[in-house]
A = this chain, B = another copy of it.
Amino acid sequence: MKGVILRIHPEAMLVDVTHEIDAFDIVAGALVVKGLSRYYPAGTIHVAVVDPGVGGERRGIVLRRDGQTYVGPDNGLFTYILDRGPGMEAREIANADFMLLDPHPTFHGRDIFAPVAAFLSSGSEFESVGPRVADPVTLKIPHPQSSEDGIAGEIIYIDRFGNLTSNIGAEQIRRAVRSVSIGDVRIHGISRFFSEVEEARPLALINIFGLLEIAVNRGNAAQALGLAKGARIRVVWDE
């Protein structure tokens, strides 16, 4: 992909964000796009490829929002960009002038997404990529459920350190928190950083994706608590 980009746009500045997403983990990819893209300069083109359905019916897509552009498969990878409300434009990748000749049905990253990004970065028009898309795909990530006394959600992602990311966003925690319960553990309040609790003790904090996370200070929460994706998590307000 990098070679293809540099052949089309030799002055492009390439930045590796991550190559550590599991092969088919679209949710993890979506969280990285959510958490990181806003820190990049206006004009950045984000190419993201987590693409288990490559070669099948899924579309390729280009999104534009807030001065940034996103290129990749239309499989939910950009869910969190799409859920930010109006102001988003989307195009299906259809113009063969933007692709390598005879793109391989398996290597869309190299043969389609990389060249599209390179052409856009070197001045090609967003509108010329292909027709407008009204209904980009979004992941069916379960919504947390609010009640009188708190909010209930679940674990949607576990990173390589065993930290557990829930579907509860920072913006949904509008009141002081008495406790966070998960598995057999009840955690008191929300920490601001890991070393606020003793080593090997669990804590809850807002993580780099802007979501409530359960971690263990200097430990692996998934292993220590015996939890997996889908584990239920419950926040109780402090009165």
| B7, B105, B205: the one within 8 Å of A40 (CB) | B7
Minimum distance in angstroms from A16 CB to a CB of chain B: 7
- Taken residue by residue from 34 to 57, chain A's Cβ proximity to chain B (1 for < 8 Å, 0 otherwise) reads as 001101110010000000111110
Given A39-B7, A105-B192, A107-B208, residue A52 in contact with residue B2 (CB < 8 A): no
Q: Determine how many copies of this chain the complex contains.
A: 3
CB-CB nearest in chain B for A215:
B106
Do the beta carbons of A15 and B6 come within 8 Å of each other?
yes
Scan A135-155; emit 1 where CB is below 8 A from any B CB, else 0: 000000000000000000000
- Cβ-defined contact, A55 with B106, below 8 A: no
Bound together, the chains give a CA A192 to CA B218 distance in angstroms of: 38
- Name A1-50 residues within 8 Å CB distance of B: 2-4, 6-7, 10, 13-17, 23-24, 36-37, 39-41, 44
Q: Is the interface of A mostly helix, strand, loop or mixed?
A: loop
Q: Which B residues are in CB contact (< 8 Å) with A39?
A: 3-4, 7, 110
Q: Which residue of B lies closest to A37 (CB)?
A: B3
Q: A15-B6, A16-B16 are in contact. Are A52 and B106 (CB under 8 A)?
A: no
Contact with B along A79-116 (1 / 0, CB 8 A): 00000000000000000000000001111001000000
Complex: chain B residue closest to A192, CB-CB: B105
Stretch in contact with the other chain, from A124-132, A171-179, A193-201: A193-201
* Cα A4 to Cα B52 with chains together (Å): 31
